[in-house]
Structure 1
Amino acid sequence: MTSPSSGPGSSGTPAPAAAPAPSTQIPAPKALAKALEDGMYAKATTPYGRMFLLSLTGGAFIAWGFIYMVTSQQGMAEWPTGIAKVLGGVVFSVGLGLVVISGSDLFTGTTMTVMPWLSKRITAGRMLAHWGISITGNFIGSALMALLILLAGVHASNGGAWGLITLNTSLAKVSYDWPRAFFLGLLANFAVCLAVWIATAGKTVTDKILAVIGPISLFVATGLEHSVANMFMLPMGLMVKYGAGDEFWNGAAVQKAGVTVDDFAALTPLSAVWDNLIPVILGNIVGGAVFVGVYFWLAYNKPETSAAKEEARKDS
């Protein structure tokens, strides 16, 4: 007589089948557009309290990307400009990588909630409320990171070289006229939302990180304007200008550059808002909502929505 088996299925019940391995094939473009719309719908319908909390980290994580970029640019003046800019862009992409993986809320990405609005899944009021909460939380998170960097004395590192980069970068950002700032913002968020589009197709952390590097490094290296990134850089530049103190202004790098606080007279809170943030935000909205959200909705999601409405009409 054989002894009863003690293994799985010994009672006569077959052992459960192993779960199939997840597919590594990326969705087809049409399915990807639907996944992007569904993701935007989920973000827009998040409870407002959680939405605000996730917006704080959205701003803070993009600030981390800019912090890394500034750090990478110290001592790069002797390098070929293209190499220095591409390096800065690659390290900056850490910021969007953190946003994508953590599920944080980034205003520039939320402009694509125009997709579920076009499909009548959310109201215009809900979409605009999401945008408002997102941009407010992003600004607070970004500005708080700037304050922490100042309190930590990072701006004075390497003889003030770190803080000098933020001053020069901030001054350049408030020197654009409105049309140029608008179009720089449009192009920047065109690239950022394409990065989100590609990352949506990713199956692993590695996929998603690699997906954002190309478009993000492209926009940073080209010198395009991203409103949330500027919500860190401009407050950082202003904090250095008004609050760095003698340790910074007497630093070796600052002295070597031969600059004083008077050289940054054009950098003010008013110029930061009026000459940069407002036109860049408007450009970001067009670049993300129209050039990516509306485009992919028209190309893939509108025909499906129209077909569903026609089927419902026939059934009625």
Structure 2
Amino acid sequence: MAYLAPAEFVTKMVDAGESKLLMSTRDTLIRSYMAGAILALAAAFAVTVSVNTGNPLIGALLFPVGFCMLYLMGFDLLTGVFTLTPLAVFDRRPGATWSGVLRNWSLVFLGNFAGALTVALFMAIIFTFGFTEAPNAVGQKIGAIGEGRTVGYAAHGAAGMLTLFVRGVMCNWMVSTGVVAAMMSSTVSGKVIGMWMPILVFFYMGFEHSIVNMFLFPSGLMLGGDFTIMDYLIWNEIPTVIGNLVGGLTFVGATLYSTHYKTAPKRVSVR
């Protein structure tokens, strides 16, 4: 599968972070819009499969198809740039600054949200025949997911917020591992296999992904979920974004950078 050694693919991670920081506003928005839309469609697909088969594992097995498609096409998710762009600053690449990192994160967030919201509207129309009927079984499930993962956390107070945050951390630990896995191979098959495994883990375990949630919760509101926009923002999206940032940067980006790129000096053998 043309596997690349860690030192090689971590160098590609730093290069990718630099490239994303220097990308034009137009290209950043287009690529993040498409990433949000494709991932949202994959989420709708996975929920549909889970509802129709009664087996969530099958939905989780198939969900990574969207993630693989968007990364093979060079589109960007917020969870990925959380991990990659700071590395260019750590490495003091020319033009890489923290203000540039914040600019990139803001643009990718907006693009991802717009793409996910577009698909949320389209799928709500499909599930209700243009809002002329009650939601079908899949639409009802999406509404229930939105309700359970907002007011469900709120019902547990601080413990619910902690659980939500940790699920966000664990999510991007896995998702960013998938982003990096795509750099471990120079073949399409190798990239897909590498990406598929951690994305399957995150989705089946019910971890919180900020971009998937940009689809699930707005569509849940359109489909009759019993929660509010403020419930969504306070009891899901904002803590999830923070958790995704911590998980991706701490457990994937900074860890790989520190041990495979800025490797510590070898110990001197004592005879």
TM-score in terms of structure 1 length: 0.76
Query: 2:81 corresponds to which letter in structure 1?
Result: T
Partner residue in 2 for 1:208:
191
What displacement does 1:221 show?
0.6
* Residues 1:115 and 2:92 are matched in the alignment: no
Partner residue in 2 for 1:81:
none
> Which residue of the other structure, out of 117, 124, 129, is the alignment partner of 2:98?
124
Provide the rounded CA distance (Å) in 2 between the counterparts of 1:194 and 1:120.
23
What displacement does 1:212 show?
1.5
In structure 2, the CA distance between the partners of 1:75 and 1:152, relative to structure 1 (3 Å rule), is closer
* Residues 1:239 and 2:215 are matched in the alignment: no
Give secondary structure in 2 for the equivalent of 1:120: coil
What displacement does 1:30 show?
0.9
Partner residue in 1 for 2:74:
103
> Which residue of the other structure, out of 23, 27, 32, is the alignment partner of 1:46?
23
* Residues 1:164 and 2:147 are matched in the alignment: no
In our comparison, the structure showing a higher alpha carbon Rg is: 1
Unaligned segments of structure 2, at least 5 residues: 154-159, 266-271
Provide the rounded CA distance (Å) in 1 between the counterparts of 2:52 and 2:30.
37
What displacement does 1:202 show?
2.4
| Structure 1, 200-209 or 152-161: larger mean CA deviation | 152-161
* Residues 1:297 and 2:257 are matched in the alignment: yes
Query: 1:300 corresponds to which letter in structure 2?
Result: H
Partner residue in 1 for 2:157:
none
What displacement does 1:154 show?
6.0
Partner residue in 2 for 1:143:
117
Q: Note the 1:22-101 alignment, pairs <5 A.
A: 25-77=2-54, 84-101=55-72
The answer to whether the Cα contact below 8 Å between 2:127 and 2:135 also exists between their aligned partners in 1 is no
* TM-align CA RMSD: 2.0
What displacement does 1:109 show?
0.3
Query: 1:124 corresponds to which letter in structure 2?
Result: W
The answer to whether the Cα contact below 8 Å between 1:70 and 1:162 also exists between their aligned partners in 2 is yes
Partner residue in 2 for 1:180:
163
Give secondary structure in 2 for the equivalent of 1:225: coil
The answer to whether the Cα contact below 8 Å between 1:85 and 1:220 also exists between their aligned partners in 2 is no
| Structure 1, 202-211 or 177-186: larger mean CA deviation | 202-211
Provide the rounded CA distance (Å) in 2 between the counterparts of 1:225 and 1:166.
15
The answer to whether the Cα contact below 8 Å between 1:88 and 1:217 also exists between their aligned partners in 2 is no
Partner residue in 2 for 1:286:
246
> Between Structure 1 and Structure 2, how many residues are aligned?
253
Per-residue CA distance 1:179-209 (angstroms, 9 max, x = gap): 1111000000000000111111222222222
Query: 2:218 corresponds to which letter in structure 1?
Result: P
* Residues 1:230 and 2:202 are matched in the alignment: no
Give secondary structure in 1 for the equivalent of 2:136: helix
Overall identity of the aligned pairs, in % = 27
Provide the rounded CA distance (Å) in 1 between the counterparts of 2:134 and 2:196.
28
| Structure 1, 199-208 or 116-125: larger mean CA deviation | 199-208
> Which residue of the other structure, out of 123, 126, 140, is the alignment partner of 1:152?
126
Give secondary structure in 2 for the equivalent of 1:203: coil
In structure 2, the CA distance between the partners of 1:159 and 1:292, relative to structure 1 (3 Å rule), is closer
Provide the rounded CA distance (Å) in 2 between the counterparts of 1:27 and 1:152.
43
In structure 2, the CA distance between the partners of 1:111 and 1:275, relative to structure 1 (3 Å rule), is same
Provide the rounded CA distance (Å) in 2 between the counterparts of 1:72 and 1:193.
25
The answer to whether the Cα contact below 8 Å between 1:185 and 1:225 also exists between their aligned partners in 2 is yes
What displacement does 1:284 show?
0.0
The answer to whether the Cα contact below 8 Å between 2:208 and 2:240 also exists between their aligned partners in 1 is yes
Partner residue in 1 for 2:268:
none
The answer to whether the Cα contact below 8 Å between 2:165 and 2:243 also exists between their aligned partners in 1 is yes
| Structure 1, 207-216 or 190-199: larger mean CA deviation | 207-216
The answer to whether the Cα contact below 8 Å between 2:2 and 2:185 also exists between their aligned partners in 1 is no
What displacement does 1:48 show?
1.2
In structure 2, the CA distance between the partners of 1:183 and 1:102, relative to structure 1 (3 Å rule), is same
Unaligned segments of structure 1, at least 5 residues: 1-23, 78-83, 242-263, 307-316
Give secondary structure in 1 for the equivalent of 2:81: helix
TM-score in terms of structure 2 length: 0.88
Provide the rounded CA distance (Å) in 2 between the counterparts of 1:231 and 1:276.
10
Provide the rounded CA distance (Å) in 1 between the counterparts of 2:66 and 2:181.
16
Query: 1:109 corresponds to which letter in structure 2?
Result: G
What displacement does 1:158 show?
11
